Amino acid sequence: EAGVAQSPRYKIIEKRQSVAFWCNPISGHATLYWYQQILGQGPKLLIQFQNNGVVDDSQLPKDRFSAERLKGVDSTLKIQPAKLEDSAVYLCASSPGLPQTQYFGPGTRLLVL
């Protein structure tokens, strides 16, 4: 069974630029999560989708971050414009339902200069 796929693996941008991350969850997993992991900390939830609907986006900085889940499968997370403090690893996870074990992708490491 293929795991959670993410791309790109690494991205370096300058502040005020925009960036997008892509996630493909495990086939059949209804729930998809985006987490932000700042160096030295545990991951923090940004947004949770159930199929193609948003369940929780209370910690998403909506003035600069946006996310969508097309047709309840793939998802993209966008940052526009990026700030220095957005430098982090962005993790995508999926699970078959609630509450279930979450399976993580390899993450996208973002560096904002």
Residues at the site binding another protein, with contacts judged by CB under 8 A: 3, 31, 33, 35, 40-45, 48, 50, 55-56, 91, 95, 98-107
- Write down the least CB distance from residue 16 to another protein, Å: 28
For another protein, the closer CB: 53 or 70 = 53
- Write down the least CB distance from residue 37 to another protein, Å: 9
Query: CB under 8 Å to 63, separation ≥6 — which residues?
Result: none
Contact call for residues 27 and 74 (beta carbons, < 8 A): no
User: Which secondary-structure segment (H or E) carries 34?
Assistant: strand 31-37
For another protein, the closer CB: 25 or 43 = 43
For another protein, the closer CB: 17 or 37 = 37
For another protein, the closer CB: 10 or 16 = 10
- Write down the least CB distance from residue 1 to another protein, Å: 14
Q: Is 71 left (phi over 0), alpha (psi -120 to 50) or beta?
A: left
DSSP letters of 58-69? TTS-TTTEEEEE
Contact call for residues 70 and 77 (beta carbons, < 8 A): no
- Write down the least CB distance from residue 103 to another protein, Å: 8
